[in-house]
Every structure is written in C-alpha cells, then in structure tokens.
A and B are shown apart, each in its own frame.
Chain A
C-alpha cells in the first residue's frame, strides 16, 4: 500500500499497518472534536497552567521521586489554601512566595481547579 507521507510522525508511523492507520484516524477524530479543540477558555487555562510545568510537570504530572511536588489530582481546596499561604508568607518557601505574588486570586483558583481535575499518571 502506498500512502503519501504526512507532516507529523503519528500519521507517518501509521502507514505501516492499515488497521493501525484506521485506529489512528479514529482516535484523531475522537480527540479532535470541535468542542475540545476550539474552547478558548480551556486553551487559556491550559496555557496558564503550563507556566507551572517547568518545575511541577506537564499538566501537573511531575517526575516522581524528586523534591518538587506533583500537582495533578491534589484536592482543589488544599491547592488554593497552600497557594494563598505562600502568597501571604504564612507557609514558608524558598521560591513559591515570589511566584504566587505574580498571580491574582482568581488565577490561583483557576490553577487549583485545573490541577485538581488532572488524573495522576500511574
């Protein structure tokens, strides 16, 4: 079967097997639904949360066994209480007081909600 190559690797690797190609297409259709892909607020929240990822992992999935905490799946109330405690200085920190003071309470609440909703990776 000769299929023209594609720009991205997933589509190209799928050329090896027609079944796998079909599965990839179906997954792509399911994942790329317009509701998910064109929700401006969802995009902004994910972009806002991405600023935490350098230290706490993409979508809160920090590398395990290291000193920085995984945010994914922590309770929303806990997250917001800690972020606000960092901001006031009630919880001592090396760096988080300096970071949290750059964000509004609404932004910290948005981040807490986002990370609480992420399922921790196994």
Chain B
C-alpha cells in the first residue's frame, strides 16, 4: 500500500519529470501522453494492450482494476454446468505489464473529474490523464425487481452474471438440489449483457441434469417475446437433446421475488416457484459511468461517438464495452468489447500522434454458445462505421448463425476462448 501511494503521489507531483527523462532522449518536449483505463475486462484490458501496441509503446497506459486476475464471463456457464473449473476461466493480468508495459493498478476508481481530467482512487490518491477510457461493464438496477437485492445479499437468489465467486456459488446450489427439483432462470428484457448467455446456461445445466439428476427440470422464464439470440438453434437443441426437461416460457417479465418461498412474481403471468432460482437483474452501465454523468441514454447506457467511442457527455473520456448505448445489431458481448477497444485504441493513438482518425472503422462479433458439453452454435456479424449516419451498421450479406450445432464448432469455441484471452491479456 505504501509503495502504491508513493507511486501515485509521484504521478501527481513528479510524474512529468520522470517522463521528461525519456522524452528528451526521444526528441519530443511535451513528454509521453498518458491514458488512464478504468476496468480490466474484455474492453479495458484490450484497450490498454492495444494503445501500447499501436503506439509502438510511445503512449503511457495505466489500467485500474480491483480484481487481481481476469475471470472470463464467456465460458463461465460451463463452470456452472460442471464441465469446466474456475481455473479454466481465470488468467493473470501480468502479461499486460511484463509484455506490454501497461501499469496495472489493483484498486478502484471512486470518482472522475472530467473538467480537471483527474481520477480519484479508493485509497484517496489522484491520477491525472490526457485520455480516459472507461470500461466499467454493467451494474444492476436492483429496484426493478422487488425483494431481489435482499434475496441476493442473503445468498439465496443469485445472478452469477459477473464471473467470480458467484459462479461457484450457483454451481453449489445446483449440486445441492434434489433430483426432481426445478432450476429456473429469469431473463430481463433486452438489452442486457450477453444476449445468448441465459439460453446457453439453461442448456449446459440441462446437460448436467441429464447425467446427474435426470428427473429434474430447467425452466426458462424470459422477459422477452422470444429467445433473443439464435432462437431456432437453441429451441432445436432443447427439443433434440433434453425433450421435456427444458421448458421455455416467453413474456415473463419479473417484478418481485419472495426469498422465503423461492418464488418469482411476474407482471402478467402467474407466480413460479423453483428449487434453484437464478434471477438476472435489469442491467445498466457500470456505476462509475452513471455517477460521472456519462449514462445519457435513459440514465442507463452511455452514448458515444462511434468513430472513437468518445462520450457525447465529456471530452477526452471514452466509454467502451457493455456500458454503451449500442448501435443497431451490436450485442453487449466480450468479443464486441474487445472490438470496441481496438477501434478506440487506434483512434486515441491517431489523435495523440496528430494524425487523422480512421474515418471508416470496422468491428466484428462472434458469440459461441454451448448447447451441451461439446456442441456449439454461433452468431457472427461484421459492422462498419457509416459516416453519413454517424453509427455502425451491419454489412449487408455478411454475418449469420450456424447451420447446425456441431462438435467442430465446439473445438472452435475452445480455440476462440484461448485466443481472445491471449489477445486481451498477453
């Protein structure tokens, strides 16, 4: 702690002096530009690495992230289903510092002053920046479902929608459930993080039940009018692989939970009781973005200029990943956050080097979903920035979903995970 404080104080008082030592040798007088990245998920870690990479290490990057290792949300459903372990989805942050020279600080940013261009850390230190990238992910709007905050705090009704200790806690609930019991997942209205995620979770839990608790049931209670991603492929998998074990019910918008009876109440439909109740709360941009006044889309998501992901509410503040108000057809996914990060990194490097920002950036997305231990289905898309519309549009004729579920795509999903983790962190 002492060391961290010393370093941060040095940044405020003497950071410029330290950098000037390098800068004078490098032939510039202004010193290295400083980018502060808040959040070390798929967006934050990727933007940190790629600013270093694309600037040929000429821009300094500090990344602030409270967790000391990266636990992946993608693939975490397989930990809940018992097919993978936490170790399988956990990677260190050390590659960002040792290979790319990112200063990784394990702390929390508590406040941002966008006028002074400073951020305050939980320890009380202040960091100044030339550019700020916020990758705060999501937080939850607990009050949208009455009783959920308390039921969750008590450890009874979990979401496990941020990979970490709660992932294993939900796994333990499933292991403790009697054969013949019911697991119910409650899905909020879109937009939410990872559109196909709830359906994948239901599928891999059904795969677990089929082997270990064959009299049990998986109930999908969806706040949406239909499956929001890869619907026909998921429905076919449920019918083919699990028969009556999986039941899908659309138009189930939750309004309250009762922790005493493990019951969920809906706006229109009747109450449902389950042995394991997995309720995904309504989501919004991470609280730091909301608190900083950046959530200017219904006080929920952050509008950005899609050319460089700069907030429309604050200059030199960029917002990426799940926290943004997305363009049409753009999912809130880890792959997409990684894509946002690369467009942002290239734009920040261009701006800080005084060259024109690419007027035609592109992003891709691939979401792979397991429907059992080995078989996977995907949805893919390619998006281009359209200057006249000032937003991203999916490119006509591109993208699509799997023809059929396959174990070949299962092997690709394994490789996707290994490669995106390396691309994000190593």
Contacts and interface: CB of A to CB of B under 8 A. Distances in A.
Given A66-B414, A95-B380, A47 B358 contact: yes
Nearest to B104: A9
Nearest to A34: B27
Interface string B389-426: 00000010111101100101101101110111011001
Contacts of A90: none
A53 B223 CA distance: 35
A51 B19 CA distance: 32
Interface in A69-122: 94-95, 98-99, 101-103
A43 B54 contact: yes
Given A28-B26, A56-B419, A47 B346 contact: yes
Interface in B295-346: 335, 338-339, 342-343, 345-346
Chain A: interface residue count, which band? Answer: 35 or more
A66 B34 contact: no
B18 A67 contact: no
A44 B410 CA distance: 32
B60 A7 contact: yes
Nearest to B42: A54
A62 B419 contact: yes
Contacts of A68: 412, 415-416, 419
Contacts of A102: 362, 364, 381-384, 395, 397-399
A54 B381 CA distance: 13
A23 interface: no
Contact of A54 (B18, B101, B366): B366
B101 A51 contact: no
B244 interface: no
A51 B56 CA distance: 18
B53 A58 contact: yes
Contacts of B422: 57-58, 63
A8 B403 CA distance: 46
B113 interface: no
B62 A7 contact: yes
22 contacts: A3-B21, A5-B6, A5-B15, A6-B22, A25-B22, A31-B58, A37-B353, A40-B350, A40-B356, A44-B358, A46-B54, A51-B364, A53-B423, A54-B420, A54-B423, A56-B419, A63-B419, A66-B419, A67-B414, A67-B415, A68-B415, A95-B378
B249 interface: no
Interface of A: 3-13, 25, 28-29, 31-34, 36-38, 40, 43-44, 46-48, 50-51, 53-58, 62-63, 66-68, 94-95, 98-99, 101-103
A8 B353 contact: no
B419 A94 contact: no
Interface in B1-42: 6-7, 10-11, 14-15, 17-19, 21-22, 25-27, 32, 34
Nearest to B353: A38
Nearest to A36: B56
Contact of A66 (B50, B60, B398, B418): B418
Nearest to B3: A5
A11 B10 CA distance: 13
A13 B34 CA distance: 17
B55 interface: yes
Contact of A9 (B6, B15, B97, B412): B97
Contacts of A33: 56
Contact of B61 (A7, A28, A54): A7
B399 A28 contact: no
B59 to A, nearest CB: 9
Contacts of B346: 43-44, 46-47, 50
